[in-house]
Chain A
Amino acid sequence: AQKVTQAQTEISVVEKEDVTLDCVYETRDTTYYLFWYKQPPSGELVFLIRRNSFDEQNEISGRYSWNFQKSTSSFNFTITASQVVDSAVYFCALKGSNYQLIWGAGTKLIIKP
């Protein structure tokens, strides 16, 4: 069975703090894809990043960075110097051999000014 766990239901930090959102996944597939999406209050899911199971290279995009570790089945997301506009619900998702996106429960991130 495939599963994505985002243990942090809600995180609240003050602007400019760094924050890490955790994602742990379970799959028996050797080939799979991992994703992060952001959902602002408007409701639209915004794509942030995609990683395949053979690419463990970490990625940095501006203030965002992702740490993929197959050994611990984790794909964590860090926002550096957080801003109020980063406030949203963030979802981690897994796509394996069943061709379906399996979603985590999401982490609500609140950035206080």
Chain B
Amino acid sequence: KAGVTQTPRYLIKTRGQQVTLSCSPISGHRSVSWYQQTPGQGLQFLFEYFSETQRNKGNFPGRFSGRQFSNSRSEMNVSTLELGDSALYLCASSQADAWVETQYFGPGTRLLVL
């Protein structure tokens, strides 16, 4: 089985712009979660989608949003980018219930905001 894929792998944006990141889960996985990783804050949970519905949300401002499509692929969007949004964004998928299922991660998208 192919693993979790994320596109693009690298991205450079300037402050004020917006960005959309994409994640394709492992085939058969219906739950997709997003995480932000920075040197200062470490790994932080952004949100989780299951069957096209946001099921759980971390403590991030409304500039961070996401969605999931019927084929379980997910996108996350960050509007009005700030320098502090520079990070590695990781997507993880699990089969059904992210509460009990192990999450498998993609390679991440490295976002640099200038």
Contacts and interface: CB of A to CB of B under 8 A. Distances in A.
A89 B75 CA distance: 27
Given A100-B45, A103-B42, A44 B56 contact: no
Dominant secondary structure at the B interface: strand
Contacts of B99: 95, 99
Contacts of B55: 99
A105 B37 CA distance: 10
- A interface, how many residues as a size bin? 20 to 34
B81 interface: no
Interface size class of B (residues with CB under 8 A): 20 to 34
A50 interface: yes
Contacts of B8: none
A108 B38 CA distance: 15
B67 interface: no
A101 B103 contact: yes
Given A33-B100, A100-B58, A44 B108 contact: yes
Interface string B44-60: 11001000000110100
A106 B42 contact: yes
Nearest to B104: A47
B103 to A, nearest CB: 7
Contact of B108 (A43, A102, A106): A43
A81 to B, nearest CB: 26
Contact of B43 (A47, A95, A103): A103
A61 to B, nearest CB: 14
Nearest to A93: B43
Given A103-B43, A106-B42, A106-B43, 9 more contacts: A43-B107, A43-B108, A44-B108, A47-B102, A95-B99, A100-B48, A100-B56, A102-B45, A104-B42
Interface of A: 33, 35, 37, 42-47, 50, 91, 93, 95, 98-106
